[in-house]
Chain A
């Protein structure tokens, strides 16, 4: 069974930093690309970042580019999101998600974790 368990969320002041983690199990972690997706309270889903299985390809949404860094440790089956210079508008539930590639070579998210809440407030 595929499981994705996020941790590391919490309350942080504006300008602060936080590192989110996602522990994966139930599949060959290194064979899959992964995403971070966030959802502000009462709002829709927002894609944050993508990292390929071997960390060769990394992409970020414009809203977080330059402030966040995604990384992974395939030996530990873990995904990370280092967030710096946090803003009030970064307050959201952050989901770790697994990508699968379809027959046309396009990735799509097939599994999601339960999310971890990040609150940026003074």
Chain B
């Protein structure tokens, strides 16, 4: 699978909304895979935030939402809170089971 592209960093003030993009090609983020998103706090294991492009697991705040259009997936965090400061990774998952992660985006709450 091809490499994915994410912004290195995104910042916002408490209460604001931010969006993290994840761009790929038709063979990964496009029609032949789905995207999931993971949050990782320092020295912690990643945690699933979004799967199947836009679905939210139980227990994840509804402030987190996902979407996909063409070869770009997006994670939006609304009502930004201090606890949202973390690294966020998109993951393109092929039906076969192979996966590729984006380089990660550091979210800073100002």
Contact = CB atoms under 8 A, between A and B. Distances in A.
Interface of A: 33, 35, 37, 44-47, 50, 52, 57, 59, 61, 95, 99-100, 102-115
B46 A52 contact: no
Interface in B51-85: 51-52, 55, 57
B51 A110 contact: yes
The interface size bin for chain B is 20 to 34
Contact of B104 (A35, A45, A106): A45
A104 B34 contact: yes
Contacts of B41: none
A118 to B, nearest CB: 16
A44 B89 contact: yes
Nearest to B33: A106
A110 B57 contact: yes
Given A102-B55, A106-B52, A59 B47 contact: no
B54 to A, nearest CB: 11
Contacts of A100: 51
A88 B39 CA distance: 27
Given A57-B97, A106-B93, A107-B93, A112 B34 contact: no
A57 B97 CA distance: 8
B52 A108 contact: yes
A77 to B, nearest CB: 19
Nearest to B104: A44
Contacts of A104: 34, 52
Given A44-B89, A102-B34, A102-B55, A108 B101 contact: no
A108 B98 contact: no
A50 B45 contact: no
B45 A44 contact: no
Contacts of B33: 106
A35 B99 contact: yes
A59 B45 contact: no
Contacts of B38: 45, 109
A35 B91 CA distance: 13
A108 B95 contact: no
A57 B94 CA distance: 13
A108 B48 contact: yes
